[in-house]
């Protein structure tokens, strides 16, 4: 073997050895610090002594290892340098180095044996030190785990049950990479409706039942109203000021109350009914002209509703730039917070890694996504400010509050509130409407019955409106069943424990991430009979099953007194002291779904496409569960000209 190749191999071995040392030392220290922070207050002397022992042990091991590496390096390079200098003295080309080495070894076999034994012994010693350090670190970390578990059990406090983890990494290998809500539901069959798992010092608690969500997220909202820190979205995409990422503080209370005044009551939402009906008719026209672009029409329609409410903006008939950018920004968000997609969400320290370091391409990806996010936030809001200055602004959420004497911080909060309304509201509403067309093609009997109800209640001379809603009970049941059948946000938005809590004898530590398993709650066989079937009748009769509106819009009711310098807001706070963490746009979203469903049923027949495979509900993983594209045939129930007349 040529000398340069040997040196390269040695350097590679040493670099990997040092890297392994650093990883083990860091992992041991992180594990010790995590357990010290979590349990040190309960038994400080025992935990501190144990953590100190681990750190001292690891420090000694790392020192010994560096000494061994240094000794090995000096010895190896000395031998290689001697062989190399001999090659130079003899004037032999590098290409013949291996031949010369063989000749030297043939002429001096005893010397070769001595060199081989010496280098091998040094290598073996180094490997033994590496193995010793690995064993000591794992044993020390395991000791911390066992001691802390013993101390917790001794006090009768334990985490909710769940899959057993490994030292250091916890349940890292157990966390599902996709469709986690289905995995959590299966785990619930074994461990119950409250389960937990942990990795790298982070505890995840999954709630699998509506009752538990009420007990924890609603009744203990003062503890569970925070949001977990997700650096990929919060820092790199710069979404930390968006309403969904704000911690439980004064800013959150202020922006949600602004939201609640505009959309938080039935009387407030009724002001937008004329615009909703107008936009639903425009949606029918787009489908009538081009039914093949159904998915695009759904997103265009949902975006147009929110743009009109939030900014007074009339969206273009197709490919509106604001709608397109909002869809792109929400797709980016979906990818950024997907479980396991980016390690930085579990280890925020990775934000400190330099951009030039290999494997940090996710940083540039996040910054590129930030441009789309800021376009969605800035452009519509700046347009309203410009229109207000020119005196051409239409009534809207943003325009109404910009006319008040807001402070700079309150104006900034208003911008993020409007943008959050636009981004999140449009995405979830669009997916629900798209799912409605799928299930109508899959279940023609339900579609036929809803159409018959519309004809019997209002006839064929006009389209249904909000004034008919109370009489269209089966159509209302169809809307509920669509939201139950496909949970658009199956894992809900995660909550975070602001302090330690003991619930039903189980310990939930501060910083734990709480996931309400919305999908399982809407498919729980103990609540819904035959939950995998589409059956609107379940919400009718003397004993209707649970209304999915109680579940799909989230949890987190709480009392939040707050004071601000804006007199108009103060007057509102006197009237509305109670504010939930659940979706603030739920009433508007519910109204949008109803009017779109009712008018679509009155105008169209929706059937499977000829020659296509049978339709089924196929959805993607993510915070927002989008449907895979499908094909169906949408045809007007009357001739197109008469339908145009009816729409107009």
Q: What number is the average pLDDT over the span 337-356?
A: 84
Q: Rounded to whole angstroms, how far apart are CA atoms 316 and 301?
A: 10
Checking if the pLDDT of 605 tops 90, the result is yes
In CATH terms, the superfamily for domain 244-484+583-647 is: Cytochrome P450 (1.10.630.10)
| 259-295 per-residue burial string, b: 16 or more CB within 10 A, e: under 16 | bbbbbbeeeebeebeebbbebbbbbbbbbbeebeebb
| 518-550 per-residue burial string, b: 16 or more CB within 10 A, e: under 16 | bbbbbbbeebbeebeebbbebbeeeeebbebee
Q: Rounded to whole angstroms, how far apart are CA atoms 486 and 431?
A: 9
pLDDT at 209: 94
pLDDT at 572: 38
- Where is pLDDT greater, at 314 or 147? 314
Checking if the pLDDT of 40 tops 50, the result is no
The percent of residues in the chain predicted with pLDDT above 70, rounded, is: 71
Give 24's pLDDT tier (boundaries 50, 70, 90).
Answer: low
Question: pLDDT of 476-498, one tens digit each?
Answer: 999 999 999 999 999 988 899 99
Q: Rounded to whole angstroms, how far apart are CA atoms 183 and 340?
A: 15
Give 190's pLDDT tier (boundaries 50, 70, 90).
Answer: very high
- Where is pLDDT greater, at 283 or 131? 283
Give 162's pLDDT tier (boundaries 50, 70, 90).
Answer: very high
pLDDT at 62: 56
Classify strands 506-508 and 513-516 as parallel, antiparallel or unpaired: unpaired
Checking if the pLDDT of 570 tops 50, the result is no
Q: What number is the average pLDDT over the span 17-42?
A: 54
Burial label, 364 (beta-carbon count in 10 A; 0-12, 13-18, 19+): exposed
Segment among 459-463, 471-475, 496-500, 567-571 with least mean pLDDT: 567-571
What are residue 513's phi and psi, to 5 degrees?
Answer: -95, 125
Farthest CA pair distance, the chain: 108
Task: Extract the annotated binding site for heme.
Answer: 583
Q: What number is the average pLDDT over the span 37-44?
A: 47
Q: What number is the average pLDDT over the span 391-417?
A: 89
Residue in the block written with tokens 């339908």: 643
Q: Quickly count: other Cβ atoms within 10 Å of residue 378's Cβ.
A: 12
- Where is pLDDT greater, at 633 or 173? 633
Q: Rounded to whole angstroms, how far apart are CA atoms 490 and 523?
A: 11
- The strand ranges marked E within 390-477 are none
Calculate the alpha carbon distances from 502 to 154, 155, 510, 516 in Å.
15, 12, 11, 18
Q: Rounded to whole angstroms, how far apart are CA atoms 370 and 377?
A: 10
Q: DSSP alpha helices (H): ranges in 40-108?
A: 44-90, 97-107
Q: Quickly count: other Cβ atoms within 10 Å of residue 514's Cβ.
A: 25
pLDDT at 92: 46
Give 23's pLDDT tier (boundaries 50, 70, 90).
Answer: low
pLDDT at 155: 54
Give 101's pLDDT tier (boundaries 50, 70, 90).
Answer: very low
- This prediction's pTM: 0.76
Checking if the pLDDT of 118 tops 90, the result is no
Question: pLDDT of 507-547, one tens digit each?
Answer: 999 989 999 999 999 999 999 999 999 999 999 988 999 99
Checking if the pLDDT of 168 tops 80, the result is no
Closest CA to 5 of 90, 103, 98: 98
Q: What number is the average pLDDT over the span 131-135?
A: 65
Q: Quickly count: other Cβ atoms within 10 Å of residue 460's Cβ.
A: 12
User: Pseudo-torsion of CA 82, 85, 87, 90, nearest 10°?
Assistant: -120
pLDDT at 565: 36
User: Pseudo-torsion of CA 231, 232, 238, 240, nearest 10°?
Assistant: -40
Segment among 61-70, 140-149, 518-527 with least mean pLDDT: 61-70
Q: What number is the average pLDDT over the span 112-122?
A: 51
Q: Give residue limits of the domains in the chain.
A: 3-154, 244-484+583-647
Segment among 105-109, 175-179, 225-229, 477-481 with least mean pLDDT: 105-109
User: Which 8-state DSSP code applies to residue 248?
Assistant: S
- Where is pLDDT greater, at 274 or 586? 274
Closest CA to 234 of 336, 305, 310: 336
CB 591 within 8 A of CB 270: no
Q: Quickly count: other Cβ atoms within 10 Å of residue 60's Cβ.
A: 12
Checking if the pLDDT of 245 tops 50, the result is yes
Average predicted confidence (pLDDT) for the chain: 79
Number of H helices, E strands in the chain: 22, 10
pLDDT at 607: 95
């Amino acid at each position: 073997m040529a000398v340069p190749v040997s040196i390269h191999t040695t350097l590679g071995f040493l670099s990997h050895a040092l890297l392994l040392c650093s990883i083990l030392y860091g992992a041991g220290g992180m594990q010790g610090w995590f357990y010290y922070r979590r349990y040190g207050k309960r038994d400080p002397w025992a935990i501190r002594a144990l953590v100190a022992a681990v750190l001292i042990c690891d420090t000694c091991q790392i020192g010994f290892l560096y000494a061994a590496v240094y000794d090995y390096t000096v010895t190896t390079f000395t031998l290689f340098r001697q062989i190399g200098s001999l090659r130079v003295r003899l004037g032999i080309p590098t290409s013949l180095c291996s031949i010369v080495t063989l000749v030297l070894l043939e002429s001096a076999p005893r010397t070769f044996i001595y060199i081989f034994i010496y280098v091998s012994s040094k290598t073996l010693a180094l490997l033994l030190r590496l193995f010793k350090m690995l064993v000591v670190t794992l044993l020390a970390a395991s000791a911390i785990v066992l001691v802390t578990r013993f101390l917790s059990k001794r006090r009768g406090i334990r985490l909710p049950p769940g899959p057993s983890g490994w030292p250091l990494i916890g349940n890292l290998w157990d966390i599902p990479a996709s469709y986690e809500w289905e995995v959590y539901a299966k785990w619930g069959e074994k461990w119950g409706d409250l389960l937990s798992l942990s990795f790298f010092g982070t505890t995840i608690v999954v709630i699998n039942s509506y009752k538990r969500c009420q007990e924890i997220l609603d009744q203990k909202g003062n503890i569970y109203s925070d949001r977990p820190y997700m650096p990929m979205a919060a820092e790199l995409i710069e979404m930390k000021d968006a309403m969904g990422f704000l911690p439980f503080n004064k800013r959150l209370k202020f922006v949600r109350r602004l939201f609640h005044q505009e959309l938080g009551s039935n009387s407030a939402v009724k002001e937008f009914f004329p615009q909703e009906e107008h936009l639903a008719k425009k949606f029918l026209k787009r489908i009538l002209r081009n039914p093949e672009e159904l998915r695009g029409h759904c997103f265009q329609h949902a975006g147009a509703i929110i743009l009109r409410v939030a900014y007074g903006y009339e969206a273009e008939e197709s490919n509106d730039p604001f709608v397109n950018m909002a869809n792109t920004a929400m797709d980016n968000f979906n990818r950024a917070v997907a479980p396991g997609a980016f390690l930085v969400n579990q280890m925020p320290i990775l934000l400190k890694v330099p951009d030039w370091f290999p494997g940090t391409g996710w940083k540039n990806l996040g910054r590129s996504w930030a441009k789309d996010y800021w376009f969605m936030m800035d452009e519509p809001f700046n347009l309203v400010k410009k229109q207000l200055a020119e005196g051409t602004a239409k009534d809207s959420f943003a325009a109404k509050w910009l006319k008040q004497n807001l402070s700079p911080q309150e104006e900034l909060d208003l911008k993020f509130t409007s943008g959050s309304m636009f981004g999140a509201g449009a995405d979830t509403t669009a997916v629900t409407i798209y799912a409605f067309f799928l299930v109508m093609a899959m279940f023609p009997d339900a579609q036929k019955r809803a159409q018959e109800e519309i004809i019997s209640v209002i006839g064929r001379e006009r389209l249904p409106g909000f004034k008919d809603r109370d009489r269209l009970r089966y159509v209302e049941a169809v809307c509920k069943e669509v939201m139950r059948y496909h949970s658009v946000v199956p894992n809900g938005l995660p909550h975070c424990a602001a302090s330690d809590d003991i619930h039903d004898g189980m310990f939930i530590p501060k910083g734990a991430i709480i996931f309400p398993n919305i999908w399982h709650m809407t498919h729980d066989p103990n609540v819904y009979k035959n939950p995998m079937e589409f059956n609107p009748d379940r919400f009718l009769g003397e004993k209707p099953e649970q209304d999915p509106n109680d579940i799909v819009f989230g949890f987190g009711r709480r009392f939040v007194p707050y004071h601000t310098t804006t007199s108009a807001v103060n007057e509102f706070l006197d009237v509305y002291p109670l504010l939930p963490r659940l979706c603030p746009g739920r009433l508007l979203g519910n109204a949008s779904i109803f009017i779109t469903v009712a008018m679509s049923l009155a105008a169209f027949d929706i059937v499977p496409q000829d020659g296509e495979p049978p339709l089924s509900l196929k959805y993607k993983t993510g915070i927002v569960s989008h449907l895979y594209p499908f094909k169906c045939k949408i045809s007007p129930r009357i001739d197109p000209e008469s339908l145009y007349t009816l729409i107009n």
